[in-house]
Each structure stands twice: as C-alpha cells, then as structure tokens.
Structure 1
Amino acid sequence: MNILCIIAAAAENNALGKDNDLLWHLPDDFKRFKSLTSGHKIIMGRKTFESFPKPLPNRTHIIITRDKNYKVKYEDCIVVHSLQEALNLVKGDPLSFIIGGGEIYKLGLKYANQMELTRVHGTFDADTFFPEFDKDKWQLTKEEYHPKDDRHEYEFTYLTYTKKQ
C-alpha cells in the first residue's frame, strides 16, 4: 500500500504559523521531521516552500502554486498547479508526505491515509491553521509525550494517526 502522510506541528488551537514563519522552535521535532521525510517526495504550497532558506536536502519538493509563471531554480524541485498534479507525481511511491501549509493540508486530508501530528501544548496567535479533521475517520495508533526542557520552550506530543478503512 502506498502511504500518503500529512506531517505537521500544530498547537492546541490548530495554529501552524504566522507571517509565513513557525511559532515555536522544537529541535527534536525538526529532527523527527527530517528523519521521517528524508529520501521521500514532499508536497507543499508555494508559501511553505518560500519559508525555507533553501530546499531541504535529500527530498524531492513538489510545490503547488496557482501562478503559471512560477519557476524554481533548484534541482529536486517540481512546480505543479494543483494537488491532483502533485498526487500523480507520488502515485507509485511507497511513502510520500504533505508538509503544508494550511490550505494544502485541508485539500490533502481526504487523500492522506496517515498523519504524523506534533501537538504543541499551548495556544498561539496565528494566521495559518491546521484543518479540523473527523476523529471518527482516523485511529490514533501511537502517542509519545515530550516535556518542556532547556531546548524546548513548550511541551508537545507526537501523535500518529491512520485513516480507518
């Protein structure tokens, strides 16, 4: 089975980011994101792509934009103009990821069959939010709590969900 996984870090009020930036700095969550997504295709919106200083190493970036003239001068970056086009590019892959932002998560929810959600314990002022999802359609299969410490200003929990058949 091919896995299309949504991966996100969202606060308790579903806040994802503000002004095209993250709201927190969680080094262990970044490490986890890197280890899960490395070697795979990652689907994202243009604004998410532009929030990176440069493309993430060892991943193929599929960037969705409505702008037909949008170009990216990096290898391992493919520009498409719809989620459907992006999904066609990952069809045969055993594992690929949707990494944001809010609008792309919302569109991708009906196609994804797995979710890696880092729930950051707190509420934040944001302009981008993770979409509400029907908890009856998703089964929580793994949960791992991470306390606050000297490198993490907030406590958080890794939640792994699988879509029910």
Structure 2
Amino acid sequence: MTDNQKSNSPNSPQLPVLSLVVAVAENGVIGNAGDLPWRMSGDLKRFKQLTMGHAMVMGRKTYDSIGRPLPGRVTIVLTKQRDYDPQHGEVRVAHSLEEATQQLVQTEMQQDQLFVVGGAEIYRLALPHAGRIYRTVVHATPEGDTRFAELDAHEWRVVEQTEYAADEKNEFACTWEVLERME
C-alpha cells in the first residue's frame, strides 16, 4: 500500500489512488518547447476516457499551455505562486499534493483516483506517492527538452498492455500500459 492510500485512523476515509497519466517516447521525452512532440488522436481519446468525471492535477505551465479547464473534469493547478489566478472560476489552485487531495474531497467528482497529468516537475513530485501509472509508450525517439523519470523495475509492474499501430490520425505506433506499484 502506498503512503497516499493509507488512512490516518480506522474512521478516516480511504484516500484516492494517485494515478499518473503520461505519454513518453522510447528515449524518455514527454515534451518539447511546452508542447507534445507528436500528434496522436488515439492517445488523446484514451486520456479523455481515463480522466472524464475525475479531478486532475497539473502544473501551472501545463495548465497555461492548455489555456482552459477540460470539460467534465475538475482541474487543480499545482503552483508555487501564492497569487496565481487561472482566470476560470471552476479551476482550483493548490500549493501541494496534499492540498490537491484535500480539494478532491470537496468536489463532486469520482474520488477513487486523483489523476496527475503533468508536467515533468509535477510528475517528479507525485511519482513517489503514486500507486498507478497509465503510460503510453510512443515508439519514436523525438527531440525534446522535457523527460519523464526512469521507473524502477523493482517498484512497478505492468498489469495491462495493448499495442496500437500508427495510422492517419496517430503519427507513431504506441503501447498503452497500466502499471501498478508493487507492495
């Protein structure tokens, strides 16, 4: 059981599983100049399917690159800036993962998982506390300035894996994986 899944007392509510959603190239690249280095419609559909009805935590730079809250989900922006204003009333702001989890409890969203959706700094903060990773391995080695952490094979196991070929809407072949932390 990960730290984020433990209750403080027998009467405490079960905390959600902290789940990362990430698309990562074979060379570890997840971004380039604030954008994704590929166009993959199928992966965006998977992202929507996974996160719909849930709360998502993202960093300020990731939120600013999207520029708006995504429909059907609660957006929690994690930032160090105490005066950050996302300019959208439905977007919540948190200054720690603990605060983001507390904000989840105050929403009407499904509370079994809290999705962390980037960027790299937020993934680094969340990874030690995560219980699950929804990873798309993009079968390419694009140029990029942002990388995902290398996972310890002794800590994570692949519990689901599906291969997808490249096509007219998906620039590269990919493998969709679900990884769970080993206890």
When normalised by structure 2's length, the TM-score is 0.85
- Structure 2: distance between partners of 1:164 and 1:90: 25
- Are positions 1:3 and 2:17 aligned together? yes
2:162 to 135, 144, 147: 144
Distance in 2 between the 1:51 and 1:88 partners?
Answer: 25
Deviation at 1:54, TM superposition (A): 1.9
Output one character per residue of 1:46-96: Cα deviation in whole Å (capped at 9) or x when no partner.
001011142111111110111111102213311112223223333692112
The one-letter amino acid of 1:72's match is P
Cα distance in structure 1, aligned partners of 2:112 and 2:100: 15
Unpaired stretches in structure 1, ≥5 consecutive residues: none
Alignment of 1:91-106 (within 5 A): 93-106=111-124
Q: Work out whether 1:127 is the aligned partner of 2:160.
A: no
Q: Over aligned residue pairs, what C-alpha RMSD do you find? A: 1.5
Quick one: which amino acid aligns to residue 16 of structure 1? I
Q: CA deviation at 1:5?
A: 0.8
Distance, in Å, in 1 between the alignment partners of 2:92 and 2:169 is 35
Match of 2:103 in 1: 89
Q: Residue 158 of structure 1: CA displacement?
A: 0.2
The CA deviation at 1:109 is 0.6
Aligned residues: 165
Aligned equivalents of 1:79 and 1:15: distance in 2?
27
Match status 1:28 vs 2:42: yes
Secondary structure of the structure 1 residue equivalent to 2:103:
helix
Q: Report what 1:117 is aligned to.
A: 135
Query: Could you tell me the percent identity over the aligned residues?
Result: 36
State the alpha-carbon separation in 2 of the partners of residues 13 and 29 from structure 1. 18
Choose 1 or 2 for highest CA Rg. 2
**Structure with the largest fraction of strand:** 1
Q: Using the alignment, how far apart are the partners of 2:164 and 2:65 within structure 1?
A: 26
Distance across 2 between alignment mates of 1:22 and 1:62: 20
Over 3 Å counting, the alpha-carbon distance change for 1:89 and 1:75 in structure 2 is: same
User: TM-score scaled to structure 1, two decimals?
Assistant: 0.94
Whole-angstrom distance in 2 between the partners of 1:158 and 1:117: 6
